[in-house]
Chains A and B, each alone.
Chain A
Amino acid sequence: MTTTKTADSVRRGRSARDPNLLRLLVMLVFVFVLMTVLRPNQFATMADFNSMMRQFPEYGIMAIGISLTMITGGIDLGVVGTANLSAIVAAKFLIGTVPRGAAPAQVVPYLIIAVLLSLSVGLVCGAFAGMLISRFNIPAILATLGTQQLFTGIAIGITSGRPQSGLPLLYSRIGNMEFFRFVPISFVIFFVVAVGVGIMLSRTRFGTYMYMMGTNPRASRYAGLNNTSITLRTYMISGLLSSVAGLIMMARANSAKADYGAPYTLQCVLIAVLGGINPNGGFGTIGGVTMAILILQFLSSGLNMFNNISNFYRDVIWGGVLILVLVFNKLLSWREERRAVRKSMN
């Protein structure tokens, strides 16, 4: 495996026998069983599943966005800023245009325009970050730290930092509805996004390009790939996903604000790394990321069931999990390397 990876070998690397997926599955089951045993009447109940399904889509979708950029060897720290800015634009539009007391049927066209508006803001934000990275060669971590600041700043500027509330009732009704009184619509959106992105990564040419560029940008350029366009498109997708997350947050909070969910950024990076996305690019699957999202949500909801564990320790536990996973992954890759060397010597 020391030769340059071809598209084929890259594909093989993320096949179903991926050891990382198996490890995550073991961890997921472990956390699940642990919480179920410790809190049998609370964890693993219908009410708890329902509550968790309402919680993770908003940051889960952003985590998928960040993961995509990390697969190409970058990172997008601007997801939360993009989500809030696009939600605020949609909220401002709705608050400013929908007449008071309008009938639901009248409101629908406004809602559609608001959603489209917010999605396009997401695309533009993503394109801007992608442009900085691909055209001006600014390191992704710095460029998106800047865009995060910029988008949040614009959002604060146009709202004076105040929450934008007074959305039409229909919006939050749709955004908070549940199918069969159990499956929240935000979960359905997350599911569609995860499957869609998963298919894009594993079955489309563009997905393969992303892995190739992430593995070795120089090689991919020499192979005739347009790195600029790949980068641009990746960040646009990330921006688009962020605005979807923003729309979900807007429904959950029944308002939009410049600083909702600010701590999500690091949480999403944690998820991506935990899910087996290589921070150096080129590796990782959406299946892994999804499992990492579930692990974190199990941990988080589980921890909230222990009255004695203060949320002081939440950061400690999450940080600890992240570092453990990183060390564990490194140890495993060393072992594999040694085994490969031994095999080649025999």
Chain B
Amino acid sequence: MKRRFLLVVSLVMVFALAVPLFAQSYDPMSFKSKKPMSQWKIALVPKDATNAWFVRMEVGVKQFAKDTGINAFQKGPAKTDAAMQAQVIEDLIAQGVDAICVVPVDPAALEPVLGLALSRGIVVIDHEGASQQNCLYDIEAFSNQGLGQTIMVELAKMMGEKGVYTTMVGNVTNASHNEWADAGVAYAKAHYPNMTLLAAEPRVEIMDNLDTAYERAKELFKKYPNLKGIFGTSSLSSPGVARAIEELGLKGKAFVTSVGLPNENKVYLKDGTLQSVLLWDPRDAGYAQLAMAVKILKGEKIENGCNLTAPGWTSMQFAPGSTKVLQGKGWITITKDNVDSFGF
């Protein structure tokens, strides 16, 4: 009895080993579809179907379906949860979709199910999941380098390319905020000789808090009367600093920009305290993911400079040292003129 049990167990093990499931590498070119375009079915799986960010992404998905006539749709879990997201993908695989675009809640948790999708010949495209193994490509709206430079260009424009500025990060431990700031500072050094970084406090921390941003900014402008600009990163820096600028009567004399949400900055953009904030639009990210999937289904080779036909996503570049992660310039500048057009 015992021996038979052991036999069964060892057979099971051998069987298990014979099933390849993970960490295979696939040639994207082999995913060219044999079906006519009109029969393609492409699904985009967001983190959460009900979150405003992804509701906006669905606008892009619907637009893409309308523009191309391809059956593309968004289908996500009702709550942000890795296990439920995997189940949605399971269902999509069973339905026989041709491509799955996914914004993973947790890339690690999706490896098995995405591995299964790839093994069934389904195209898998990730967005904001650069660590994903089981995908053909991961596309990102921007590189940290590129965004940092763009923030600096905007700030320099406001400051007339001269004067003292400092940088503000959400947390000094936040890797991407620091990369943006470093890239911005390096860009200023190379391109704007009349701009100088505040040596006493070159990197201010706001603890990811709107009130702290406001208080720190007030303090800075009082302490350093010649401070003219703040290079912000966190989306809380613009509204916080703008409030300080307004209260101190420095409108038109001191400037700030950062990543920012339209509604949070609307008042200040309209009254001129702020001139612009930067953002990437989830609508374009949705559109670009589908365009990427279509390229692979068509059997196109993906190279530097490939065009995903959404604003800012028209010239994708591979991340340094990667053959999988592509980065765009998918940010948009929000000013008083377009701030009302986003709906979030």
Contacts and interface: CB of A to CB of B under 8 A. Distances in A.
Chain A: interface secondary structure? helix
Interface in A295-329: 300-301, 304-305, 307-308, 310-312, 314-315
B238 to A, nearest CB: 28
A176 B112 contact: yes
Given A172-B22, A311-B76, A254 B90 contact: no
Nearest to A309: B75
Contact of A55 (B12, B73, B90): B90
A264 B78 CA distance: 12
A243 B77 CA distance: 24
Contacts of A104: 13, 17
Contacts of A198: none
A253 B86 contact: yes
Interface string B45-87: 0000110000000000000000000010101111101111011
Contacts of B109: 163, 253-255, 257, 260
Given A51-B94, A163-B106, A177-B16, A252 B113 contact: yes
Given A173-B19, A252-B112, A315 B78 contact: yes
* Among B15, B50, B84, B88: residue with most chain A CB under 10 A: B84
A249 B83 CA distance: 8
A257 B85 CA distance: 14
Contacts of A55: 87, 90-91
A55 B83 CA distance: 10
A252 B86 contact: yes
A262 B112 CA distance: 20
A134 interface: no
B111 interface: yes
A51 B91 contact: yes
Interface in A230-279: 249, 251-255, 257, 259-264
Nearest to B95: A42
A332 interface: no
B89 to A, nearest CB: 10
Interface in B205-250: none
A261 B83 contact: yes
A260 B17 CA distance: 27
Given A42-B94, A263-B84, A301-B94, A173 B78 contact: no
Interface string B103-126: 000101111110000000000000
Interface string A35-57: 00000001001011011101100
A45 B94 contact: yes
Contact of A304 (B75, B82, B86): B75
A69 to B, nearest CB: 22
A174 interface: yes
Interface of A: 42, 45, 47-48, 50-52, 54-55, 58, 104, 108, 163, 165, 169-170, 172-174, 176-178, 249, 251-255, 257, 259-264, 300-301, 304-305, 307-308, 310-312, 314-315
13 contacts: A174-B16, A176-B19, A177-B15, A253-B110, A254-B112, A257-B82, A259-B81, A304-B91, A307-B73, A307-B75, A308-B73, A311-B75, A312-B78
Interface of B: 12-13, 15-17, 19, 21-23, 49-50, 71, 73, 75-79, 81-84, 86-88, 90-96, 106, 108-113
The 6 tightest CB contacts between A and B, nearest first, are A51-B94, A253-B109, A307-B73, A304-B91, A165-B108, A261-B83
